[in-house]
Amino acid sequence: MIEMKGFPYTQYPAIAYNFAGGGCAGWGTMCGTLIAAGAMINLFLPPKECKKVYNELIGWYCDTPFPSKGLDKFAKFKNQVQTVSNSPLCHVSVAKWCTESGKMLTTPERKDRCAKLAAEVAAKTIELLNAHADGTFKPVYALPAETKKCLSCHGVKKSANYQHGKMYCSECHEPHE
């Protein structure tokens, strides 16, 4: 298990990731929790292993209903609507939740939702790092069938060679044959 007590961990500037809020300075791109988590994973694992663990974290994020009920005892707003983003993008994740819950972006309920999500991503990151350190990490995330189908034409080394994503394509694009 990774022990993080004292120096140099007490010197790590957490403020370094303030830019990531709102999907990076409010742009709605990658969820800021995933950016900070990726940086932490990168501190402890060699590049090849980092990519495996980070891929697993992002896949888990895309497929998990947020916010879970597990953090309700710490939250202002209990039993919030849960949504699955199918995307690591802040914009998609938040917009789906706002649509389902009927709450707007600037409401305290949405802020509470994202705070819970941040805690859940931090906990999952620690879980994955501990599993890697213990030698029990086994990736389980697999590309969605929809994405595999799209990449069969639009992926690397294909006739329409301009896509290398792993997200559900239909979150942003109309399906086509």
Write out pLDDT tens, residues 133-147: 999 999 999 988 888
Lookup: tokens for 11: 């010197």
- Bond prior to 8 in cis (omega within 30° of 0): yes
Q: Residue 83's pLDDT band (boundaries 50, 70, 90)?
A: very high
Write out pLDDT tens, residues 92-135: 999 999 999 999 999 999 999 999 999 999 999 999 999 999 99
Does residue 160 carry a pLDDT above 70?
A: no
pTM flag (> 0.85): yes
CA count, 13 A, side-chain hemisphere, 46: 1
Higher pLDDT, 175 or 113: 113
Higher pLDDT, 150 or 94: 94
Report whether 73 contacts 79 (CB < 8 A): no
Secondary structure (3-state) at 30: strand
Secondary structure (3-state) at 63: helix
Does residue 29 carry a pLDDT above 90?
A: yes
- pLDDT score of 164: 64
